[in-house]
């Protein structure tokens, strides 16, 4: 902002709470969760959900494990009313799920709401009125505190009167001083205590006091102070579930909720992926998975986040950002070389350690949780662009294509492949990486091509053997013979006989190629150029391990003598 713009704004006042307790507390258990996707989320959609879409979404929320679901504002619109009636009349609400309905503290709306819930087994009736000085002044035309408190009191009395009109429904009562986030604490308390006085909750029949962070005006620590202050001062605290309902104007919905729980709240309202007015509501998925990542069970199942995201995106017509915690396309992906290296080392080490101790705690650099726990595969963890390193490329070749390259081969292959990504200026796909590796390093046949190879084990002492081979060099086909203590050694001597020995073999490794066709073997041969001393790796793939080694040697030789 420009300096002249900044002058418009003022600091937000702190809460006088010198003996605050929340900073030294930790979260040890999950709160009661309430999804407000079908209300707060829906009212914020450019195209609100249809009844059929809401029915589908409701089933999804039940399957996740929500036991409290705000199903809408049934007095506000026919679709909302109809949706609720379908849930009740078609017996769609599981026995362990309680629906919640929202209504302003206005007489005709409250009466209509009770008509809407008739027949439900259990329902939370949630009334609210706005309490902040700003709302009192601007929206309610300079209403006094007393006038605003009386709105809450009248609404609460009417609700108390209407409860007996739905004798087959167990009604749970909820009150929100809307705009709590910028209401004077003593006044928010006055309104809440007035409602508590009318509804007379008991520890056996609790009511809910919801303290909404309707608009985030300040930092999460001040929100936590406000919650702790309320928890200390509310009447009948043991008969209340204190509920949080954060929005995300400052991008701190999750932080405010977590600190609010430390400050003593029992319940959390929010939406999947933070859908909702303006910058959204609290992202419940985020908070629940944060808890899981500290070993806390939440009762919510987010083990297939990608499918959930797809359903959510289809029904809400919203999109989830690529960097969105836990669910975004890129959040378990490393492009940077150093991150890739560390992740690869972490995953490899974990593979080894879990053999000894399957319950060993998760500890992989850069990954706060195991992506598989939210239905993500390791395949997407490492992706290759020009920022990537040798470790990441080795990881892809290993995990995607089954090539377990010798460590000293990584730099050569890595710089070739990320050099390609750099030249292209884009990310390379896993298939493309495999193709590049094949084209550049595997079974190279030009200028030197091994056409035939036989081993003769007879007539030599001390395990020596003879090889006969036909090679093609350019257009010329040549046959030769060589002896050595193994096939590679024998072939090296054959090349020397033919005058092609311009190197020495400095390293060799072979492996069974995972995922290769019919148990192919892969071999890697490193040669050193006799003149320059340069080291070059080649790779061979063949059903026979011997031939794989020879092909690797020929590949390395061809890399040493590229055809112009």
Q: List binders of Zn ion among 459-488 (CB under 5 A).
A: none
Shortest Cβ 277–Zn ion spacing (Å): 6
- Cβ proximity to ligand KIV: between 286 and 340 the closer is 286
The site partner of 35 among ligand KIV, Zn ion, none (C-beta below 5 to 8 Å per kind) is none
Residue written as token pair 């060099």: 473
Of the candidates 431, 432, 409, the one whose C-alpha atom is nearest the C-alpha of residue 420 is: 432
The site partner of 129 among Zn ion, ligand KIV, none (C-beta below 5 to 8 Å per kind) is none
The DSSP call for residue 327 is T
Shortest Cβ 105–ligand KIV spacing (Å): 11
The CA distance from 375 to 154, in Å, is 49
Stretch that binds Zn ion, among 32-40, 105-113, 376-384, 397-405 (CB under 5 A): 32-40
- Cβ proximity to Zn ion: between 45 and 380 the closer is 45
Site track for ligand KIV across 479-518, x = CB under 6 A = ----------------------------------------
Residue written as token pair 């289809």: 314
Stretch that binds ligand KIV, among 185-193, 210-218, 319-327, 412-420 (CB under 6 A): 210-218
The CA distance from 151 to 194, in Å, is 11
- Count of C-beta atoms within a 10 Å radius of residue 277: 15
- Asked if residues 193 and 234 have their Cβ atoms less than 8 Å apart, the reply is yes
- Using a 10 angstrom Cβ sphere, with 0-12 exposed, 13-18 middle and 19 or more buried, the burial of residue 457 is exposed
Determine which residue in the list 176, 333, 340, 443 makes contact with ligand KIV, applying CB under 6 A.
Answer: 176
- Using a 10 angstrom Cβ sphere, with 0-12 exposed, 13-18 middle and 19 or more buried, the burial of residue 532 is exposed
Site track for ligand KIV across 219-258, x = CB under 6 A = --------------------------x-x-----------
Sheet (strand 503-512) strand order: 503-512, 521-529, 535-542
- Asked if residues 505 and 492 have their Cβ atoms less than 8 Å apart, the reply is yes
Determine which residue in the list 37, 53, 178, 341 makes contact with ligand KIV, applying CB under 6 A.
Answer: 178
The CA distance from 327 to 311, in Å, is 13
Stretch that binds Zn ion, among 33-41, 65-73, 515-523, 540-548 (CB under 5 A): 33-41
- Cβ proximity to ligand KIV: between 42 and 412 the closer is 42
Between CA 161 and CA 166, with CA 165 as vertex, the angle to 5 degrees is 120
Helix H or strand E encompassing 486: none
For the chain, the straight-line distance linking the first and the last C-alpha, in angstroms and rounded, comes to: 59
The site partner of 176 among Zn ion, ligand KIV, none (C-beta below 5 to 8 Å per kind) is ligand KIV
Q: Is 178 in the site for Zn ion (CB under 5 A)?
A: no
Q: List binders of ligand KIV among 127-166 (CB under 6 A).
A: 128
- Using a 10 angstrom Cβ sphere, with 0-12 exposed, 13-18 middle and 19 or more buried, the burial of residue 553 is buried
Site track for Zn ion across 35-54, x = CB under 5 A = -----x--------------
Shortest Cβ 316–Zn ion spacing (Å): 16
Dihedral angle computed from the Cα positions of residues 177, 178, 182 and 184, in that order, rounded to the nearest 10 degrees? -20
- Cβ proximity to ligand KIV: between 247 and 401 the closer is 247
- Asked if residues 320 and 285 have their Cβ atoms less than 8 Å apart, the reply is no
Shortest Cβ 326–ligand KIV spacing (Å): 24
The site partner of 128 among ligand KIV, Zn ion, none (C-beta below 5 to 8 Å per kind) is ligand KIV
Of the candidates 212, 198, 228, 304, the one whose C-alpha atom is nearest the C-alpha of residue 17 is: 228
Site track for ligand KIV across 304-323, x = CB under 6 A = --------------------
Shortest Cβ 247–Zn ion spacing (Å): 6
Q: List binders of ligand KIV among 7-66 (CB under 6 A).
A: 40
Of the candidates 419, 417, 401, 399, the one whose C-alpha atom is nearest the C-alpha of residue 409 is: 417
Shortest Cβ 246–Zn ion spacing (Å): 9
- Cβ proximity to Zn ion: between 40 and 80 the closer is 40
- Cβ proximity to Zn ion: between 40 and 520 the closer is 40
DSSP-based three-state secondary structure for 392 = helix
- Asked if residues 341 and 389 have their Cβ atoms less than 8 Å apart, the reply is yes
- Site residues (vs Zn ion, CB under 5 A): 40
- Site residues (vs ligand KIV, CB under 6 A): 40, 102, 128, 176, 178, 210, 212, 214, 245, 247
């Amino acid at each position: 902002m420009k300096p002249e713009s900044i002058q418009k704004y003022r600091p937000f006042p702190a809460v006088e709470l010198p003996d605050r307790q929340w900073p030294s507390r930790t979260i040890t258990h999950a709160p009661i969760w309430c999804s407000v996707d079908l209300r707060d989320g829906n009212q914020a959609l450019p195209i609100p959900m249809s009844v059929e879409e809401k029915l589908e979404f409701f089933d999804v929320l039940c399957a996740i494990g929500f036991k409290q679901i705000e199903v809408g504002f049934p007095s506000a619109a026919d679709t909302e009313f109809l949706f609720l009636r379908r849930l009740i009349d078609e017996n769609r609400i599981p026995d362990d799920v309680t629906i919640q309905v929202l209504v302003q503290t206005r007489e005709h709306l409250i009466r209509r709401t009770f008509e809407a819930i008739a027949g439900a087994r259990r329902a939370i009736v949630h009334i609210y009125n706005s309490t902040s000085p700003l709302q009192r002044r601007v929206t309610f035309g300079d209403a006094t505190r007393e006038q605003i408190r009386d709105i809450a009191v009248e609404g609460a009395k009417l609700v108390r009167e209407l409860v007996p009109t739905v004798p087959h429904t167990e009604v749970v009562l909820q009150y929100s001083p809307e705009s709590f986030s910028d209401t004077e604490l003593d006044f928010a308390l006055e309104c809440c205590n007035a409602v508590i006085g009318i509804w007379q909750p008991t520890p056996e029949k609790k009511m809910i006091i919801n303290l909404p962070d309707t608009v985030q005006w300040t930092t999460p620590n001040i929100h936590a102070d406000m919650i702790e202050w309320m928890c200390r001062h509310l009447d009948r605290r043991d008969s209340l579930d204190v509920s949080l309902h954060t929005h995300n104007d400052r991008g701190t919905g999750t932080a405010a909720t977590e600190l609010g729980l430390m400050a003593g709240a029992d319940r959390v309202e929010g939406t999947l992926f933070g859908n909702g007015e303006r910058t959204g509501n609290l992202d419940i998925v985020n908070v629940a998975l944060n808890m899981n990542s500290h070993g806390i069970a939440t009762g919510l199942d987010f083990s297939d986040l990608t499918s959930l995201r797809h359903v959510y995106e289809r029904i809400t017509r919203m999109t989830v950002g690529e960097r969105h915690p836990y669910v975004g396309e890129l959040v378990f992906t490393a492009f940077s070389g150093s991150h890739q290296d560390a992740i690869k080392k972490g995953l490899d080490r974990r593979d080894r350690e879990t053999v000894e101790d399957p319950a060993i705690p998760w500890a992989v650099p850069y990954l706060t949780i195991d992506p598989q726990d939210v239905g993500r595969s390791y395949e997407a963890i490492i992706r290759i662009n020009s920022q990537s390193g040798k470790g990441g490329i080795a990881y892809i070749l290993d995990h995607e294509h089954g090539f377990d390259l010798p460590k000293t081969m990584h730099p050569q292959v890595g710089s070739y492949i990320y050099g390609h990504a750099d030249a292209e200026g884009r990310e390379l796909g896993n298939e493309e990486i495999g193709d590049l590796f094949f084209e550049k390093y595997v079974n190279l046949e030009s200028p030197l091509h091994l056409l035939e190879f036989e081993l003769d084990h007879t007539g030599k002492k001390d395990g020596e053997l003879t090889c006969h081979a036909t090679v093609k060099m350019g257009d010329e086909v040549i046959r030769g013979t060589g002896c050595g203590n193994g096939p590679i050694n024998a072939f090296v001597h054959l090349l020397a006989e033919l005058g092609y020995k311009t190197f020495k073999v400095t390293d060799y490794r072979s492996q069974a190629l995972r995922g290769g066709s019919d148990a192919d073997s892969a071999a890697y041969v490193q040669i050193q150029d006799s003149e320059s001393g340069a080291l070059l790796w080649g790779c061979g793939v063949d059903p026979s391990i011997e031939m794989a080694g020879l092909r690797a040697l020929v590949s390395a030789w061809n890399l040493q003598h590229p055809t112009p």
